Structures are given as structure tokens and as C-alpha cells.
Amino acid sequence: MKTPKWFLKKSLIACALLPVSWVYLCISRMVFRMRAHRPLVSRRPIICIGNILAGGVGKTPIVRQISEFLDAPVVMRGYKKSNATNNIGDEALMLSRHGLLVHTGDRKSNIILLNKQKSDTPIVMDDGFQNPSIKKDISIIVVDSEFGFGNGFLLPAGPKRERVSALRRADAIIVIKSSNARKKNVLLPAGVPVFYAENKTISPYKSNQKLVAFAGIGYPEKFFRRLENVVKKISYSDHYQYTDADIKKLRDLAAKMDAKLVTTEKDWVRLPAAAQKDIKFAELDTKIEKGFFVWLKEKLNGDFQEKN
């Protein structure tokens, strides 16, 4: 589904849904306490990269950077994973394309499997901050300063999975900087180390090339704003599975406007194989400040060395 518009700002719809949010909060706290009973304790350190929003914060590139730094495997659910089609999920495909070892499916089972290996390298867990059934050695929360915490409400009135005060459970926070930052909506709790990351979108085309940009991600406008000379923007639901018919419509539109098609890498891995040959994606280059990796090594007691 597409991200509801009321997630971005307070509206009549958001306010009308507030009573449902209170019910959601009560149920989620009960589930949290139930899951906290006898959590799985891993022999290998577990580094959880999570957030407190319902997606769209740019967590996958952060997971990639940390996993590459530690030469660590990644465990994740694999959203839209399907055994029938051998689809492991778009985030998993993205990470695999960059040479990372990714285990999708039940995270507990995969952690147990990885613990049977001789390696002592940490395991990076994508998401799971709200699930205490697996003990985390380090929890890192990603916050996108451009989106902040949306309208500030809990699901379904807003995008938050839990209150901002939950950030106190984190060992560190990584804030993705943006020139369009919501300065009034990224207040973070004191006492938790904060580090910064920057995103740079690299178009595969020259700046004077007209583009038809399409994306099926949580907040596609962030992607569209970072491209030049976009003559048409087309949004699909998050994790949208593109069909041959969709591709034909996109190609016809681009030809009509004398433009090139461009999308995100996350969308590109979901395109039919034939379409991947001529449709290009804009690379998202994410850089976390060096101080974070110094902190991470110290947190891991210097037992693990960075790759290369």
C-alpha cells in the first residue's frame, strides 16, 4: 500500500484515528512484554539496525555500510519473500548484489544456524527493535531528518510504531541529514550517542537528460526531489511488484515525452529481468560519519576488525 498522506501532517483523518492509536499502543505494549519472556541469547553479538516508524527511513543502506565494515552476515525477514517464486525480498536482493551474506525468513532460526558456525563475527539484524524475543547486544536506530517522526502520531493515525521515548532503549542513533530537515520534529532523547549520515543520489544520466522517474518505496517524493530534469513522477505502493504491462506503460510514456526511465535500486531489483537490461537506477550513496565506526569498534571491545 502507499504511505497514507496523513502520516506527514496532522489532519482530520489523523485526529479521527487517534483512539485506534491508543488501542494499538496498549496491544503493542502487551505483545512486547510477552515476547520479552526468555529471549534468545546469541553466542555471536547481535547488532540490531531498527527504527520506530513504519518503514521509509532509509535503513537498508545503513545496514549495508555496517555489515560491510564488520564483514558480518545479515538476518532479516525479507519483506514480500516468496518460496514459490524464489523471491527473497527487495532489500535482501539489494544487499546480496553488494556481496553481503543475507539470511531471510525466521530471524531466530537463522541466528541459531549462524551460531553453529565457528565464526565469532557479529550478526547484523535488519529491524526487530520492537521485538525483544531476541537479545540485542547493540541497538542502533535510524532517523531520517527529512521525514522526522511524521505527524508525531502512532499507527494508524501516524507512522510511529512506538513513542519517541523508546529511543532511550537504543545504544546509538544515526540521523540521515537533509537540507529539508524537519527541525521541529527530530528532537532526540538526551544521553544516547547521535551520529550522522549523508545520502547522495547519483543519476545514471547527464543533468540535461529529461527523466520519467518512478518508485514504489515508502516515501517516493524524497527520491524524486534528488533528481534533476524530471518531467514526470509516478508513484507505486511500497514494495510494488512490477509486471510486463507496467513496464510497457512506462516505456510508452517515456517515449512520448522523449525521456529516459529511472528508478531506485530497490525498485530496480523488482523489475522483470528483461526490463533490467535497459532501465537504469539512480544509485544512493550513503556515508556514515567515521566517528560512528570508532564508537562501534569500542562498543565491540575492539575484538572485530573492519573488512580489508
Domain check: are 102 and 60 in the same one?
A: yes
Q: Are residues 146 and 257 in the same domain?
A: no
The per-residue pLDDT for 302 is 59
> Do 96 and 193 lie in a common domain?
yes
Is the same domain home to 228 and 242?
A: yes
The structure's pTM equals 0.91
Residue 78's pLDDT is 78
- Together in a domain, 262 and 150: no
d(CA 252, CA 234): 13
Domain holding 133, by residue range, is 5-30+40-199+287-299
280 and 202 Cβ atoms separated by less than 8 Å: no
Q: Which pLDDT does position 12 carry in this prediction?
A: 96
Is 162:154 a contact under the CB 8 Å cutoff?
yes
The pLDDT value given to residue 184: 54
- Residue 252 sits in a domain whose CATH number is 3.40.50
89 to 94, 114, 117, 234, 274: CA distances (angstroms): 9, 20, 25, 22, 19
Do 106 and 141 reside in the same domain of the chain?
A: yes
Buried b (16+ CB within 10 A) or exposed e, 66-84: bbbbbbbbbbbbbbbbeee
What the block records as the C-alpha cell of 269 is 531489483
Confidence at residue 298, expressed as pLDDT on a 0 to 100 scale: 94
Residue 112 domain-assigned (yes or no)? yes
| Beta strands across the sheet bearing 74-76 | 102-104, 74-76, 123-126, 46-50, 138-144, 172-176, 194-202, 280-288, 260-264, 211-215, 230-235
Give me the percent of the chain exceeding a pLDDT of 70.
92
- Nearest CA among 180, 201, 147, 202 for reference residue 9: 147
Angle at 231 (CA atoms; ends 264, 58), nearest 5 degrees = 25
Low-confidence stretches of the chain (pLDDT < 70) are: 1, 79-88, 181-186, 302-308
CATH number at residue 149: 3.40.50.300
pLDDT digits (tens, 9 = 90+) for 242-280: 999 999 999 999 999 999 999 999 999 999 999 999 999
**Close Cβ partners of 118 (under 8 Å, ≥ 6 residues apart):** none
